[in-house]
Structures are given as C-alpha cells and as structure tokens.
Amino acid sequence: MDINSLLNGFVWYVAFVFSTTLHEASHAFIGFKLGDRTAYEGGQVTLDPIPHMKREPFGMIVVPILSYVLGGWMIGWASAPYNYLWSINHPKSAAKMSLAGPLSNLIIVLIAGVFIRIGLGNETFISPETINFTHLVDASEQDGVMSTITLFINVFFSLNLLLFIFNLLPIPPLDGSGIVPLFISDDKSRQYLQFINNPVFSFAGLFIAWKIFDVIYDSIHLAVVNLLYFGIAHYG
C-alpha cells in the first residue's frame, strides 16, 4: 500500500469515526433529554470516539479498516443503548431519538455542501472530469494541504449522504423503522415496536435494506450532485 492509499485511508477513517460518533451521540443526547438515561449512563453522550469504540470495536475499528483495504471505502457501525420499556411507554420520544442520528449526518452533508458551493463559486474547487462517490470536486491548486482538505470534504459529503439515506430506510433494525411512531397513534406504535423487536429482523432487515439501497442510491446521489452544481454544470 503506497503513501497515497495510506493518506486516503486516514482521511476515510477520520471521517467515518467522526460521522459515526456524532450519529450515536445524537441518539444518546436526545434520548437523555427526553427521559432515557441509558446511553448517558453508558457514556455515549460524547463526541469522544473511545466510548463508542469500546461498545462496538468490531463495527468501529475492524470492519471499517477491512472494508477500506478490500474495497477502497469504509463501512461499519456503532450503537447507542436504550431502554426498551421507555420506548414502549414513550413511542414518540423514542422516534425522535431514532431520528436524531440520521439528522446529524444530514447536517454534515449540508455543511460540506455549503463549502463545496463556496469553493466552486470562488474557484477554490473545480469540477473533475469524472464524478463518482468520493470525487465530487478537485482542488484548483494541487498542493498537498489543499488536496487533503478537498478529499476530506468529498468524503464527508458522500459518506454522510450514504449514512443519512441508508439509516432512513424504514426497515428494522435501521433508524428509519424507529421513526414510524411519529406518524401513527401511541397504541399502534406500541404494537409496532413490539412487533419489530425481534432479533430476526436484525439479519433479514439489513440484507433487504442493503438490496433496496443498492438500487436507489446511485439515482439519489446523482440528483444531489446536480443540486450541488446547479447553475454551474449538469451531470447525468
């Protein structure tokens, strides 16, 4: 593995750890504010990645590194504990806790998007010949520091767009399944939460979600890229 691959891997891992930590800390913080102290007492209401890594070392360390070495990009997971009985008694609050994680990723997407638009506007960034998942813009001046900053922005944008969309799929055990109680009555929410609280969904649901995501993501990513370049260029 050459120095460029190592640098890219470092950028990917920093972006992955920060994005995943913020996602889980957002779950934990909103849960704490709405009455569930489980994640707070577990030390998850923090942007320090260490407690999150200790809780999910395989998903936060092993899988991201392996996925980068084998595929050139990173995937993994973390988790924030919650009180199941609290979610049954307060389904709307539990739904808001579920929503907090994906919203944190959307905020990163929007911030990175603003930097990209500003950079394109003042020609700090230029459009590359070919756009792909982590190559949305190039630095107009290819010095080491600016190229690294550009890589960070590219990765932060696309990684968090992926996390936002994937986690919003309404399939257990993803966050999107936990958001459903916002749209139905509390009585139906309790029945629904009891129904999806089945370990089988953790395996079958992830398989189904990934198959659906694989079909829809490219079109969504293209639409978002065209929004980024709106008034500047068009990609299709």
Mean pLDDT for 1-8 is 82
Mean pLDDT for 216-229 is 92
Mean pLDDT for 15-44 is 98
What's the pLDDT band for 92 if we cut at 50, 70, 90?
very high
Q: Is the pLDDT of residue 201 over 90?
A: no
Report pLDDT for 72: 85
Q: What is the pLDDT of residues 119-129, one digit of tens each?
A: 999 999 999 98
Q: What is the pLDDT of residues 150-200, one digit of tens each?
A: 999 999 999 999 999 999 999 999 999 999 999 999 999 999 999 999 888
Among the ranges given (24-28, 153-157, 224-228), the one the predictor scored with the smallest mean pLDDT: 224-228
How far apart CA 230 and CA 224 sit, in angstroms, is 10
Number of helices (H), then strands (E), in the chain: 11, 2
What's the pLDDT band for 54 if we cut at 50, 70, 90?
very high
Residue 68: phi and psi, rounded to 5, are: -70, -45
How far apart CA 11 and CA 3 sit, in angstroms, is 12
Measure the CA angle with vertex 141, ends 138 and 142; round to 5°: 75
Does residue 19 come out as left (phi exceeding 0), alpha (psi in the -120 to 50 range) or beta? alpha
What's the pLDDT band for 27 if we cut at 50, 70, 90?
very high
Report pLDDT for 99: 98
Q: What residue segments make up the domains of the chain, in order of their start?
A: 3-228
Classified as helix, coil or strand, 37 is coil
How far apart CA 70 and CA 212 sit, in angstroms, is 23
Report pLDDT for 191: 96
Measure the CA angle with vertex 167, ends 183 and 210; round to 5°: 120
Q: What is the pLDDT of residues 129-146, one digit of tens each?
A: 888 888 899 999 877 789
How far apart CA 126 and CA 146 sit, in angstroms, is 12
What's the pLDDT band for 233 if we cut at 50, 70, 90?
low
Half-sphere exposure of residue 216: CA atoms within 13 angstroms, side-chain side:
12
The average confidence (pLDDT) of the chain is 93
